Amino acid sequence: MARVRVARATSAMLVAALSFGARPASAVVVADKIDTYTINGSYTNSIDPSITGTLTVDLTTHSVTGANINTGSFLSGGFGTFTVIADQGAFGRRGQDYIVDLTNGAGITFGLVLDTRSSLFSGETAAIDPSSDFVFDTFFAPIPCFTCGDFKGSISLETLGSGAGVAGAVPEPSTWAMMILGFLGVGFLAYRRKSRLRLA
């Protein structure tokens, strides 16, 4: 009687595995559109330092995912390289622009304001807004750069860096079912082998 039950259970598992395995294997793939922008600009002071570098933008999630912006060395009137994204979001009275707060690890934050948010996240050329500014973190309160003047320039799409980043594939339910049945089968065989050893 026990052998009949085991045979039925084994044949039922085999039929289920074959029915799941008959479906074509596929996976759901989620792709984000990632673009890299080249930044060329400057700000007005006695030297007019340049602002150059790249900004990586995810056009699917509408967020900036990477930055490498050089504003020149301290000796040349700049504030170093900004690579850490501290904060970002909509900016302006109607939220039409986009601000990315970048830090350089030396207590300086670069509030890069881009015109406009819609052009940035649609893969078009955007402008550096004049209201961009450097802020110095002090013990008492953050102090804006009063001598930096107006910012100008643009960010344009870099053709080599653009493309789609593909996220990992998500297994279908049939794949999960096959894997679980496989583990159950291995567990059942181990159980059977153990009970045979006890009888012998």
pLDDT per position as a tens digit, 65-88: 888 888 877 776 678 888 898 898
pLDDT in tens, 12-38: 555 555 555 545 444 455 566 788 888
Give CA–CA dist 125/55, Å, rounded: 12
Alpha helices in 32-152 (DSSP H): 117-120
**pLDDT tens series, the chain, 200 aa:** 555 455 555 555 555 555 555 454 444 555 667 888 888 887 776 666 788 888 888 888 888 888 888 887 777 667 888 889 889 888 888 888 888 898 888 888 888 888 878 888 887 778 888 888 888 888 888 888 777 767 777 667 664 444 444 455 667 788 888 888 888 888 888 787 766 666 55
Give CA–CA dist 110/113, Å, rounded: 9
Structure tokens given for 51: 């602002």
The contacts of residue 198 (CB under 8 Å, 6+ apart) are: none
Q: pTM surpassing 0.75?
A: no
Quick one: pLDDT at residue 110? 86
